[in-house]
């Protein structure tokens, strides 16, 4: 049952994720300019040490389009991506909280050196202007309080998760 639910939800979630990623890329012409020469190349994101209690994430492989944007390769990704990006996903909530706070995750990148350099530049330089998008959608009177609330929630979540992770076993052994 869970597998079939995951198979139904994964494409919808991934399509929306790609829309957000492409929105962020498209807002920065230097980003699409950097990716355009890599059209047709595939980069795969591996979430290492994903918790077994959570449903497995869908395959995260993306092809660079001629416009310098990304498209999801689907549930059956290509077997030989030109670039592998590995992220420690042992604590998905902390990873998400850090991302919401604008902190790029530590990554390990293997593969095509030029594409790797461009992806590294994107990770270091791209930021989603959530406040700007909210202002365009809702107007400044509503956007500013929402942005402040979101920032405060992200900071609190990040701090809480960091404190919670400090309660783990000290000897490096897994939780019982």
Output the pLDDT for position 154.
61
What is the model's pLDDT at position 153? 66
Task: Check residue 76 and give its pLDDT.
Answer: 83
The pLDDT, as a whole number, for residue 165 is 53
Say how far apart CA 81 and CA 110 lie, in whole Å: 10
**According to the model, what pLDDT value does residue 35 have?**
96
pLDDT at 143: 66
pLDDT means per 10 residues, the chain with 176 residues, are 65 88 90 96 91 85 96 88 91 78 78 90 78 69 73 65 54 46
List the CATH code of the domain at 2-128. Answer: 3.30.1050
Give the number of other Cβ atoms within 10 Å of residue 151's Cβ.
Answer: 15
Q: For position 65, what pLDDT does the model report?
A: 97
Q: Which residues contact 9 (CB under 8 A, 6 or more apart)?
A: none
pLDDT of residue 173: 44
Q: Which pLDDT score, from 0 to 100, does residue 175 have?
A: 44
- Say which residues have a Cβ less than 8 Å from residue 69's Cβ, sequence separation at least 6: 22, 25, 26, 32, 35
pLDDT at res. 103: 74
Q: What pLDDT does residue 137 have?
A: 67
What the block records as the tokens of 155 is 């900071």
What are φ and ψ of residue 43, in 5° steps?
-120, 135
């Amino acid at each position: 049952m869970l597998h079939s639910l995951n198979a139904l939800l994964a494409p919808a979630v991934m399509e929306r994720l790609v829309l957000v990623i492409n929105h962020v890329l498209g807002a920065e012409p230097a980003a699409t300019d950097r990716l355009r020469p890599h059209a047709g190349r595939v980069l795969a994101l591996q979430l290492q040490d994903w918790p077994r209690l959570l449903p497995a994430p869908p395959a995260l492989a993306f092809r660079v389009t001629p416009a310098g944007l990304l498209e999801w390769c689907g549930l059956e990704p290509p077997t030989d991506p030109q670039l592998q990006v590995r992220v420690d996903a042992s604590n998905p909530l902390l990873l998400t909280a850090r991302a919401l706070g604008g902190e790029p995750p530590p990554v390990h990148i293997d593969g095509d050196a030029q594409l790797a350099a461009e992806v590294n530049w994107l990770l270091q330089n791209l930021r989603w202007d959530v406040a700007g998008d909210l202002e365009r959608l809702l107007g400044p009177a509503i956007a500013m309080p929402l942005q402040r609330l979101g920032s405060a929630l992200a900071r609190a979540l990040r701090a809480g998760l960091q404190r919670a992770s400090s309660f783990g076993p000290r000897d490096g052994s897994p939780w019982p």
